[in-house]
Amino acid sequence: MNLRLQQLSSKLLIALVLSVPLIQGCTATQEDHSVTADQDKQFLSWLDSLLNQTKNNPKYDRLPINTKNQEKQFYTWLNDAYHKRISKHDFMRNVNSTYPNHEYETAFIVSRLP
């Protein structure tokens, strides 16, 4: 019985060790989504339309995205929300917590997500 338990423990340990690289390979980084978004013609077309709508809305106030890191983060959130990898609610929560006092702008964007 003890030998059987040791064999089972060994097999579980090996399975765990072998699955870690697989799990790590499945996780996507922020950069991975940005590259995908840059090549996603449907998303880029939708984004162009959204940008035109924001420019034509006098009530819309630009979000204070002033650095490349902020731009990349927002772009990733937006692409993830567009493709439903995150919910509209999660997108809204992320943006509103990062850019307070821009609830109108966030709602404006969310209302145009597919």
Domain residues for the domain of 68 are 29-110
Separation of alpha carbons 114 and 68, rounded Å: 26
The answer to whether residue 49 sits within a structural domain is yes
Q: What is the pLDDT tens value at each position of the chain, 114 positions in all?
A: 555 545 544 443 344 344 444 344 444 555 555 556 678 899 999 999 999 999 999 999 999 999 999 999 999 999 999 999 999 999 999 999 999 999 999 999 999 999
The answer to whether residue 96 sits within a structural domain is yes
- Are 102 and 63 in contact by the 8 Å Cβ rule? The answer is yes
Separation of alpha carbons 112 and 51, rounded Å: 11
* Total of domains in the chain: 1
The answer to whether residue 16 sits within a structural domain is no
The pLDDT score that the predictor gives to residue 43 is 94
Separation of alpha carbons 37 and 46, rounded Å: 11
The pLDDT score that the predictor gives to residue 4 is 53
The answer to whether residue 2 sits within a structural domain is no
The answer to whether residue 1 sits within a structural domain is no
The answer to whether residue 18 sits within a structural domain is no
The pLDDT score that the predictor gives to residue 38 is 73
